[in-house]
Each structure stands twice: as structure tokens, then as C-alpha cells.
Structure 1
Amino acid sequence: MKGGAFFILAIFLLHSSFLVHSQYLDSCDNNVINFNEYTSFDTTAMACQVVWEKESFTLRYAKAGIGLWSFLLSAYNRNSWIAMAFSTNNEMIGSSAMVGWMYLNGTSKVLQYDLKGKDSKSVLPDKGNLTVIANSSSLFVQSDRMYMAFQLSTPQPLTNLLYAIGPFILPTENDGLKLSMHRTYISTTMDFETGLSHTQASPFTGLRKTHGALNMIGWGIFMPIGAIVARYFRHLDPVWFYTHTTVQILGFLFGVVGFMLGFVVEGFIKAEVTYHKNIGITILIISCFQVLALLVRPQKKMKIRKYWNWYHHNAGRILIVLIISNIFYGVRLGMEGPSWYGTYAAIVAIMFVTAIVLEVRLRRQR
């Protein structure tokens, strides 16, 4: 009952998050806004475009003079930094970004960053190729939305634009204003003449999603189901054993293919996923030993069988904990959004509630 209530609560909270998103969406319907008291330039006659609907990013811009462009980026205030990068090749590396955030005490910062790499040491504050007009940058919050304003001196802004949302840890002077890895990002192109913006799909998105789906199905679904069969259906001998073995081997095969694809994805996009990869390697090693354990399984009458059972059962429990943790971690790294989180969370909740019901039944029978 408690598990079911938790599942209903999780669905409610997920639904509520979408309501919050839509509630504070800046849709450009009322494009005439006046934030002149917060900015050094006029904001009442700017073109407007929703550039990232999923994360409620809206961009307003205007050509304010010869070689002068004004920008006003708004997003729902998540107490994180927001970023807008200008790129020559639609990639983060090599681009220059305007990044802004507000501290809890109400002070704010807007800085240019030179994105020379994906690690924080290669993201340099107060550097970059953008010519930012002095004293034009500002950041303020209105009606639960964060607004970042700045002006650039350029004949024509680059049309390849990237937007990102940072983690909840804000940069500080003590750590050299270094940026931690973003929570999510999007790559777009903008036609400043027509005002049209569209998302650029990554060529490796399909490969990354296949990697995630195979691991989720193989490690994250088949393996726990196999464990449930082994623990709660032993009275159906020998059907439980062959079912358990078949499901675990299928999960292992799916997982191995997904594991190999992970290295392919890492090589293509140069992702920094050290912890995720190391946990994945640990999962594969334990799984290999679990499969090999079937080949050396002692007979029931042998004294050593109880030690084999102890190892096999506890290794399986550790394996399931690592698998579920790494899948959620991988979804976060892949920035797949709430649909992947919600789907797998629902599957885990169903398996968990099922295990509780079967465990209660098993204990009553004993």
C-alpha cells in the first residue's frame, strides 16, 4: 500500500512540474515588455522567439544600431545559471557564451566564458570572442522568471546558438567562477532576419538513446525480473530455474550490447562519464561472474552449496542496486528529460511493489 501511495505521489509531482513549466512559459504573446529600469538598452521593441519550449527559454533581440545588437534571454528561475552560446559549428567547444546567475542574497553576475573544452578547467571566465558592450550586461528576476540582458558589437550575430541550464551549485569567486557541468542543453539555429529558430538534432542522439534503452531493458528490467523469479517461484520447480536462467541470459546479452555502444558513444562525443563508465564496468564484471557461477554450481547435497548460494544471492542484490543507480545516473548524464526518468521510475516502482507483495506471501507460507 505504501509503495502504491509513493508511486501515485511521484506521478502527481511529475505532473505538477509540467504545470509549473507551462505556468511560467514566456510565449511572446505579449511581446511589448518594458524592463528598461533593469537594462541599459530599450526592451520595448524587440523581436521575440521561444527558442527552447521544453525548458521555457525565450529570446528577445533587436538590431539597436550599426554593428550593435541587443539580447534579452528569459527562462524559468531554477536558482541555476543560464547560458547562451554563439558557435561557428553548432558545437559547444570553440564557442563563446554569455552566462548569468543570481545568488540567494539578490546579487547577480553575467560573464562571458570561452568554451575551450568540456571540463571546468577549459571553460574560462571573462574570455571569449564576443565583443560585449561595456556595462550592458545585467540579470534580474521578475515573476519567477530570470532575465539575462546584454549587447554585442557585431555586424551580424552567429546563427548557431546553444542554450544551457547549470546545476544548483552556483559559481563563486572562491572557486574562480568555474562552471560545473550543465544539467541540460540544446543546440539551435536562429535566422535573425525572419525570427525563426529550430533545434539541431545531434547525429549521435539515436546511438545514445539506443545505448540507454538496451541497458535499461537488459540490466534494468530483465535482471530484476530474473531475481524475482528465482526468489519467489521456487515452488514451480524446475520451471523457475529455466525461466530465471533464460531471463538473466537475455538481460546479460542486451546489457553487453548496450555496454559496448556506450564506448562508441563516448568516443564520438568525447563525453566525460568516468563514474558512469566505471560503475558500468563493475556491473559487467559482476554479471560475468554470475553467469560463470552457473557453470560451477554445486549439487544441492554438497556442503559447499550453501556458500555458493550466499555468494550468488548477495552478488545479485548488489548488482541490482548498482544497475538501478547507474541507469538513473545515465539518464541524467544523457539529459533525456522527465519522460525517461518517469518511465523507468514507474517500472522500478511496479517491480518493487510486486516484490513486496510476493515477499509477504512467502513469509506467510513459511
Structure 2
Amino acid sequence: MSGLVIPLLPFEKYIIGHAVLCVIGFLGLLPLGALLARYTRTYSPAWFTAHWIVQFAIAGPVIITGVALGIHAVVLAQSGGTNDVHKKWGITIFVLYLAQLAVGATIHYYKPRAWAKGEGRRPFQNYFHAVFGLLIIAFAMFQVRTGFRSEWPAQTGRGPISNGANVFWYVWIILLAIAYFAGLALLFRQFRLEQEARKNNWTEMKQPIAHEGQPSTATDAKTN
């Protein structure tokens, strides 16, 4: 009887789908978007486009679908609402992700006047957005671990997930941390280029249009 394999129940299949999509979204796509911003912003003005496409256009549908599958699994299993750590953190992290999208859009489209002129210090909200994003990824790391270490056995009654998942979890955290913190070496270059770009843009905005203050050709002809 030890070789007996119990087929997956419908709600267990939804749990697996939920886990796969949320891991891809929170541990794959969100870190990718953060790394794109960290590395490419010092070399290409298109960095923001790539950043929001990954964080919103691609990660958004994946994460929303993953969360929806998790909620549906809870409904099918009739295991109650947010009655454990994994469920509570799941909803919290999802709300934080949506808030982060709103913060990012606000920061990009509404800039302090002094900052736009190339003067003053970098706005607090820019630092907040970066740190907040990293915290969401860190929370998601914790959340994924509670999922395969505690939630899956508790909800299904099956044995724990193979230790390979735990090893991968640790390795992935280390790799992401190394990749991101190595990119911080580009901060000084980023700040210098941003200041130069803002000053140049502000100077161009203040310059009068070429034909301003000059009489038109038609007026000169009539006068003559």
C-alpha cells in the first residue's frame, strides 16, 4: 500500500495552479522588473517602459490569476477565509502590490518642481518606491515558503513538499540579493545622469521659441 498514489482533488489542482503563478509573478517577474530598473536606467531612457511592462502588463495578469486560483481553492475546500498566516499574508501582499503600482505611476507622472529643474535632493517618494518594492518581494519570499512548508500539508493532508523546493528557495534568494546589490554600484552614475538630463530639459523649456519677438515677413512686406 506504500506505493498508492492518491489522485489530486479539484481544490488541490487549484492550489498548485495558484502556487505556480504566484511564484512566477512574485518571485520571478517582480524581481526581474526591479533588476531592469536597477541596471538599465543608467544606459537607456527606455528603462521605465521595460519596467512597467514587466511589473504591470505581464506580472499583473499572472499575479491576479494566481490569487484568484488561491481564493477559488479555499472556496472549493471550504477551509474558511483568512484564518491562517498564509491566507492573511497573501491578501496583504496582493494589496501592497496594487498600492505599489499606484505609487510608481504617481511618482513617474508627478514630479516636484525643484527636482524637475535639476535642483534639490532626490524626492523621498522615489526612495520609498524602491524600498517598498523590495519589501514586497521579501514578503513574497516568506509567503511562498509558508505555502510549501505549512499550507500545502495543512490543507491537503499530504506529506510535505520535497526538500528540493526549500533548497531552491534559499538559492534563489541569494542569487537575487547578489544581482540587486551589485547593481547599486551604478547609483552614482544614475544620479549624475539624471541631474544632467533634468537641467538640460529645464533649460530647453525656458528658451524662447525661435520666431518670438521677430516681425513676420508678411508685415515687413506691407511696410515696404
Q: TM-score range by the shorter chain?
A: 0.5 to 0.7
Shift in Å, 1:288: 1.0
Tell me how far apart the structure 2 counterparts of residues 251 and 237 of structure 1 sit (CA, whole Å): 22
Distance 1:338 1:270, change over 3 A: farther
- Give the equivalent residue in structure 1 for 2:162: 337
Q: Hey, what's the Cα distance between the residues in 2 that align with 1:210 and 1:342?
A: 21
Equivalent residues in 2 for 1:193-212 (5 A)?
197-204=3-10, 205-212=12-19
Alignment match, 2:85: 275
Which of 320, 324, 348 is 2:173 aligned to? 348
SS of the equivalent of 1:214 reads helix
Query: Could you list the runs of 5+ residues in structure 2 that have no partner in the other structure?
Result: 153-159, 191-224
Distance 1:258 1:199, change over 3 A: same
Confirm or deny: 8 A CA contact 2:38 2:180 kept in the other structure.
Answer: no
Aligned ranges 1:112-151 → 2 under 5 Å: none
- 1:362 maps to 2:186: yes
Cα deviation digits, residues 126-183 of structure 1 (max 9, x gap)? xxxxxxxxxxxxxxxxxxxxxxxxxxxxxxxxxxxxxxxxxxxxxxxxxxxxxxxxxx
More helix by percentage: 2
RMSD value, Cα: 2.6
Are the structure 2 counterparts of residues 354 and 314 from structure 1 closer, same or farther at C-alpha, using a change threshold of 3 Å?
Answer: closer
Query: Aligned partners of 1:296, 1:358: CA distance in 2, in Å?
Result: 24
Is structure 2 residue 138 aligned with structure 1 residue 321? yes
- Return closer, same or farther for 1:345/1:251 CA change in 2, 3 Å cut-off: farther
Match of 1:232 among 21, 25, 39: 39
5 Å-filtered alignment, 1:103-118, equals none
CA distance in structure 2 between the aligned counterparts of 1:244 and 1:276, rounded to whole angstroms:
28
SS in 2 for 1:198: coil
**Counterpart selection for 1:253 from 61, 67, 79:** 61
Measure how far apart 1:365 and its partner are: 6.1
Alpha carbons of structure 1 residues 242 and 364: separation in structure 2 relative to 1, 3 Å? closer
C-alpha distance in structure 2 between counterparts of 1:364 and 1:306, whole Å:
16
Structure 1 residue aligned with 2:129: 312
Structure ranking higher in strand proportion: 1
Identical aligned pairs, as a percentage? Answer: 20
Shift of residue 226 of structure 1? Answer: 1.3
Q: Larger relative contact order (C-alpha < 8 A, sep ≥ 6)?
A: 2
1:294 has 2:111 as partner? no
SS in 2 for 1:216: helix
How far the C-alpha of 1:306 sits from its partner, in A, is: 0.7
User: Are the equivalent residues in 1 in contact too, given 2:42–2:189 (CA < 8 A)?
Assistant: no
On the 8 A contact 2:42/2:186 being kept in 1, the answer is: no
* Deviation (angstroms), 1:269: 2.1
User: Which amino acid is the alignment partner of residue 181 of structure 2?
Assistant: I
Extract unaligned runs of 5+ from structure 1.
1-48, 52-196
Deviation at 1:230, TM superposition (A): 1.7
TM-score by length of 2: 0.66
Q: Write out per-residue CA displacement over residues 96-121 of structure 1, whole angstroms, 9 at most, x where no aligned residue.
A: xxxxxxxxxxxxxxxxxxxxxxxxxx
Q: Which residue of 2 aligns with 1:216?
A: 23
1:4-43 pair list within 5 angstroms: none
Number of residue pairs the alignment of both structures matches: 171
Please give the per-residue CA displacement for 1:25-63, whole angstroms capped at 9, x wherever unaligned: xxxxxxxxxxxxxxxxxxxxxxxx6x1xxxxxxxxxxxx
